[in-house]
Chains A and B, each alone.
Chain A
């Protein structure tokens, strides 16, 4: 049923989530030639339509902090640039520590973030309580806070970039699955899709939770693992919570949206992969509710409105895969965002596009290059602030 317009493209992007769409935007703006974006589902069916909308700049490595800061700037001007209002509200991001070890960890993050020129703060339990009305006494030993972090509505951001790329002539085809890659002499020649074989010299794998599967179909082993994460929303209330709150110990996070709903999740490790689909679970509903009620007891009578789930595309070191795969020229990775694709998309996709266009990028290959996992002797920094 689904088909595409041409037999060949300059670039085929796999995945019409925020990462794939933004990548095609940068490419189209650079005049890269005929560009096709394919997606196995519908617009916003993957993680770009399922995330909690958190946008933060507090990270453990300077490179990520800088990318995040660039993304924050992009989302601040998003409404004026794209005609859609993502309601990016800079209500801050508040990390919670439950013990001294966690607080020490947050202090190190704070030191780095401030050294990058962002005014993050270390908060006492009393100061934390001022941000979270009704916080249970003794629930935290402290936290860190950065006021320019915030939350947005993912959907308008997706519509905005989608309509922008379409107006630039990018073709976006839904219900089309990437099935494999035809390569000769280590170079991409064509992509095999459910809509047929399409000649191209550049493929961008921006398939999120499905990226590892597609890389493998292309004959490339990657360390990415899709992990299912669940999320819930409560009945809408009048505003009472400004920041996004994230707890170090168990990845509990929640914020209050513009509509007044409390939206949040919790890290449960159940090993479910993409094959299991995206169901909600009784375990999540009950564990998440308990975690929230323990932290903020007054919320107990608030109704849970709905729950859903989506996939993180995790990597062993917590950094995404950005750039060309040295094993197959013309195959570019824009994946492994570990649940942070939305917050890093505007900045990272600019680098992806540059790589596709053969331009140099400023990314540290030790952190972002897909080849890093091929070298067992490389220095191995790890980004552990994977929550929220």
Chain B
């Protein structure tokens, strides 16, 4: 890579360079966690968390276009990149004073009502705080002048991970050429299949008479419309977030984020992280990042494989431990911990917290298409109801891989089995595949119950995209509002850019505790399209008529 040509761009007025093909985030990271954004309400310092295009930690303005995710953008020569939503800079932002002025939060639901004559001034101030970036420049190029991608296929596969690839390979064997859609910026080819990379399937409505219409978004600007007779959903899983004090401080990363940033720039943006998690995922992450991990902390027990690996690396283990708080407003510098069951509180110095404690399925398309979903208490997530041949309750939609609850070898096997069902071949071997347990409760439910008895310090951010504090959820509940849908409307939790990907799973457990009923009774938020923010121009390029429908 060293001899690859460099791209030169301007970052807040300074000349920077990126290796060819490297993302903007990787170019700005260079071993240290870049500080690119401030949070939407309190202007708290934020840094990238997920490095896969969902969190708000890497939004920048590129050539007059706001909200470009640096982790998903490959810079070109002479790009002009600027940070937004802070003054004078993301590292030192005057608006950050709001965070200190309102230590218990800004109550926009009940506050700012008096005196009447101040109404306009309140409106002006609050509007100015909102929003991540300025609107697009009039001159911002809209590459969606590119024609949209429109294609019609027999079988579309969403996701080119292990299970999606296994499904594709088996279909190819059977003489079917599927179209595989994948979010990866540069996915490896799928032999015998068509592949659309950099493409997120954002909307899969229930089928019409001619089959499915899958809308997608190929970054940075292109609209994608795939007509398909059958759809295999292999949307995968992701590392969830966790509630603790200062859980939004720069340096708190999901394992996806830590690995993604390591892959993009060669080493992770930390030196001594606390790795959170005790099962196979944490084990795998430790295998990749051991050199930069200071300690392993798990909400529950730690599985033997991980114990062995940590011992080999001489990394201390803290099983069944509460993570109380991360200190370090502009960069994590330590965490407060307490052994569950009433141990004494202690601290560990660290420069990052890597969350690998809970891997959740990516369920949006299942909900959108109308597949019946089932609560799996062990994971604390919804999975599609499936037949033995992995058909969902919507005819023509199949579910494979971790999104459907098949992990490890079962994941690959599920892909092949769904492909057999798609091509009406008898299943090679009968019997149900091993799936994540439906029985609950998850370890985290007991964990949160215990955590709730602890005194709290610092802001606990329940929804980082919208800066909704945990206390706001508790207040809504105390006022008698019940159910996820109502609490979402009351507090705003889950209405931000990640569409609830990171906040809802925890909010569901919290509400289950507060409402004293199982999480599945608390409900779930309707999964609204699009799955990721999609430029208006990309959708516009897919409009079927030249003019909007005629006037009333």
Which residues of A pack against B, CB within 8 Å?
Answer: 42-45, 49, 76-77, 79-80, 83-85, 87, 89, 133-134, 155-156, 159, 163, 234-240, 248-252, 258-260, 266-269, 279-283, 285-294, 297-308, 384, 386-387
Output the least CB separation between A222 and chain B (Å): 21
Q: Which A residues are CB-close (under 8 A) to B142?
A: 297, 300-301
Asked whether, in the complex, the Cβ of A80 is within 8 Å of the Cβ of B528, the reply is: no
Task: Considering the complex, give the chain A residue whose CB is closest to the CB of B204.
Answer: A282
Asked whether, in the complex, the Cβ of B130 is within 8 Å of the Cβ of A260, the reply is: yes
Q: Which B residues are CB-close (under 8 A) to A304?
A: 530, 533-536, 539
B497 part of interface (Cβ distance < 8 Å): yes
Query: Which one of B113, B490, B540, B550 lies within 8 Å of A286 (CB-CB)?
Result: B540
A281 to B552, CA, bound (A): 20
Task: Considering the complex, give the chain B residue whose CB is closest to the CB of A43.
Answer: B486
In B472-512, the 8 Å CB interface with A consists of: 479, 481, 483, 485-486, 489-490, 495, 497, 499
Q: Given A287-B548, A300-B142, A301-B221, do A159 and B490 touch, yes or no (CB 8 Å)?
A: yes
Interface segment out of the listed B131-139, B254-262, B327-335: B131-139
B453 part of interface (Cβ distance < 8 Å): no
Q: Which A residues are CB-close (under 8 A) to B535?
A: 300-304
Q: Given A282-B215, A300-B144, A306-B529, do A85 and B110 touch, yes or no (CB 8 Å)?
A: yes
Q: Given A80-B116, A234-B536, A267-B552, do A239 and B203 touch, yes or no (CB 8 Å)?
A: no
Asked whether, in the complex, the Cβ of B485 is within 8 Å of the Cβ of A45, the reply is: yes
A62 to B66, CA, bound (A): 44
In B443-485, the 8 Å CB interface with A consists of: 479, 481, 483, 485
Q: Which A residues are CB-close (under 8 A) to B67?
A: 235, 302-303
Task: Considering the complex, give the chain A residue whose CB is closest to the CB of B139.
Answer: A298
Asked whether, in the complex, the Cβ of A42 is within 8 Å of the Cβ of B485, the reply is: yes
Output the least CB separation between A224 and chain B (Å): 17
Asked whether, in the complex, the Cβ of A85 is within 8 Å of the Cβ of B130, the reply is: no
Q: Which B residues are CB-close (under 8 A) to A163?
A: 479
Of all A-B residue pairs in the complex, the 8 with the closest CB atoms, nearest first, are A303-B533, A260-B131, A300-B537, A79-B113, A289-B539, A290-B543, A300-B142, A290-B540
A83 to B113, CA, bound (A): 8
Output the least CB separation between A46 and chain B (Å): 12
Output the least CB separation between B114 and chain A (Å): 6
A-contact bits for B187-230, CB 8 A (1 contact / 0 none): 00000000000000001011000000101000001010100000
Q: Which B residues are CB-close (under 8 A) to A300?
A: 136, 140, 142, 144, 535-537, 540
Task: Considering the complex, give the chain A residue whose CB is closest to the CB of B40.
Answer: A236
Q: Given A238-B128, A304-B539, do A287 and B113 touch, yes or no (CB 8 Å)?
A: no
Output the least CB separation between A252 and chain B (Å): 7
Q: Given A258-B127, A289-B537, A292-B536, do A302 and B109 touch, yes or no (CB 8 Å)?
A: no
Query: Which one of B114, B131, B528, B533 lies within 8 Å of A280 (CB-CB)?
Result: B528
A299 to B540, CA, bound (A): 11
A-contact bits for B82-104, CB 8 A (1 contact / 0 none): 00010000000000000000000
B428 part of interface (Cβ distance < 8 Å): no
Output the least CB separation between A131 and chain B (Å): 14
Asked whether, in the complex, the Cβ of A302 is within 8 Å of the Cβ of B66, the reply is: yes
Q: Which A residues are CB-close (under 8 A) to B112?
A: 79, 85
Number of interface residues, chain B, beta carbon within 8 A: 69
Q: Which B residues are CB-close (under 8 A) to A285?
A: 203, 215, 529-530, 539
Q: Is the interface of B mostly helix, strand, loop or mixed?
A: loop
Asked whether, in the complex, the Cβ of A258 is within 8 Å of the Cβ of B130, the reply is: yes
Tell me how many residue pairs across A and B have CB atoms closer than 8 Å: 205
Asked whether, in the complex, the Cβ of B551 is within 8 Å of the Cβ of A250, the reply is: yes
B284 part of interface (Cβ distance < 8 Å): no
Asked whether, in the complex, the Cβ of B136 is within 8 Å of the Cβ of A299, the reply is: yes
Task: Considering the complex, give the chain A residue whose CB is closest to the CB of B547.
Answer: A250
Asked whether, in the complex, the Cβ of B536 is within 8 Å of the Cβ of A289, the reply is: yes
Could you list 7 A-B pairs, sorted by A, with CB under 8 Å? Answer: A159-B109, A237-B133, A237-B135, A250-B551, A292-B540, A298-B136, A384-B552
Asked whether, in the complex, the Cβ of B552 is within 8 Å of the Cβ of A386, the reply is: yes
Q: Which A residues are CB-close (under 8 A) to B534?
A: 303-304
B545 part of interface (Cβ distance < 8 Å): yes
Interface centre among B225, B535, B550, by most chain A C-beta atoms within 10 angstroms, is: B535
Give 10 A-B pairs besides A258-B123, A260-B130, A304-B533 with Cβ atoms closer than 8 angstroms: A83-B110, A85-B110, A87-B123, A159-B481, A237-B131, A282-B203, A282-B225, A291-B548, A302-B135, A303-B67
Q: Which A residues are CB-close (under 8 A) to B123?
A: 87, 89, 258
Task: Considering the complex, give the chain B residue whose CB is closest to the CB of A88.
Answer: B119
A46 to B534, CA, bound (A): 26
Asked whether, in the complex, the Cβ of B497 is within 8 Å of the Cβ of A301, the reply is: no
B126 part of interface (Cβ distance < 8 Å): yes
B65 part of interface (Cβ distance < 8 Å): yes
Q: Which B residues are CB-close (under 8 A) to A240?
A: 134-135
B108 part of interface (Cβ distance < 8 Å): yes
B544 part of interface (Cβ distance < 8 Å): yes
A252 to B543, CA, bound (A): 15
Output the least CB separation between A7 and chain B (Å): 24
Q: Given A85-B108, A155-B490, A300-B537, do A306 and B548 touch, yes or no (CB 8 Å)?
A: no
B431 part of interface (Cβ distance < 8 Å): no
Q: Which B residues are CB-close (under 8 A) to A159?
A: 109, 481, 490
Asked whether, in the complex, the Cβ of A156 is within 8 Å of the Cβ of B109, the reply is: yes
Output the least CB separation between B327 and chain A (Å): 30
Query: Which one of A236, A258, A269, A386 lies within 8 Å of B132 (CB-CB)?
Result: A236
A165 to B221, CA, bound (A): 49
Q: Which A residues are CB-close (under 8 A) to B532?
A: 303
B149 part of interface (Cβ distance < 8 Å): no
A85 to B112, CA, bound (A): 7
Interface centre among B111, B126, B144, B550, by most chain A C-beta atoms within 10 angstroms, is: B126
A85 to B110, CA, bound (A): 5
Interface centre among A80, A252, A294, A298, by most chain B C-beta atoms within 10 angstroms, is: A298
Output the least CB separation between B474 and chain A (Å): 16
Output the least CB separation between A353 and chain B (Å): 25
B438 part of interface (Cβ distance < 8 Å): no
Asked whether, in the complex, the Cβ of A306 is within 8 Å of the Cβ of B528, the reply is: yes
Asked whether, in the complex, the Cβ of B490 is within 8 Å of the Cβ of A269, the reply is: no
Asked whether, in the complex, the Cβ of A286 is within 8 Å of the Cβ of B552, the reply is: no
Q: Which A residues are CB-close (under 8 A) to B116?
A: 76-77, 80
Interface centre among B66, B111, B112, by most chain A C-beta atoms within 10 angstroms, is: B66
Asked whether, in the complex, the Cβ of B213 is within 8 Å of the Cβ of A282, the reply is: yes
Asked whether, in the complex, the Cβ of B536 is within 8 Å of the Cβ of A307, the reply is: no
Asked whether, in the complex, the Cβ of B136 is within 8 Å of the Cβ of A286, the reply is: no
Q: Which B residues are CB-close (under 8 A) to A238?
A: 85, 127-128, 130-131, 133-135
Output the least CB separation between B540 and chain A (Å): 4
Q: Which B residues are CB-close (under 8 A) to A289?
A: 536-540, 543
In B137-156, the 8 Å CB interface with A consists of: 137-138, 140, 142, 144
Q: Which B residues are CB-close (under 8 A) to A266?
A: 548
Query: Which one of A42, A239, A294 lies within 8 Å of B486 (CB-CB)?
Result: A42
Q: Given A80-B116, A286-B540, A287-B548, do A307 and B528 touch, yes or no (CB 8 Å)?
A: yes
Task: Considering the complex, give the chain B residue whose CB is closest to the CB of A239.
Answer: B127
A70 to B304, CA, bound (A): 70
Task: Considering the complex, give the chain A residue whose CB is closest to the CB of B85.
Answer: A238
Output the least CB separation between A254 and chain B (Å): 11
Output the least CB separation between B473 and chain A (Å): 15
B280 part of interface (Cβ distance < 8 Å): no
Query: Which one of B490, B529, B548 lies within 8 Å of A290 (CB-CB)?
Result: B548
Q: Which A residues are CB-close (under 8 A) to B221?
A: 301
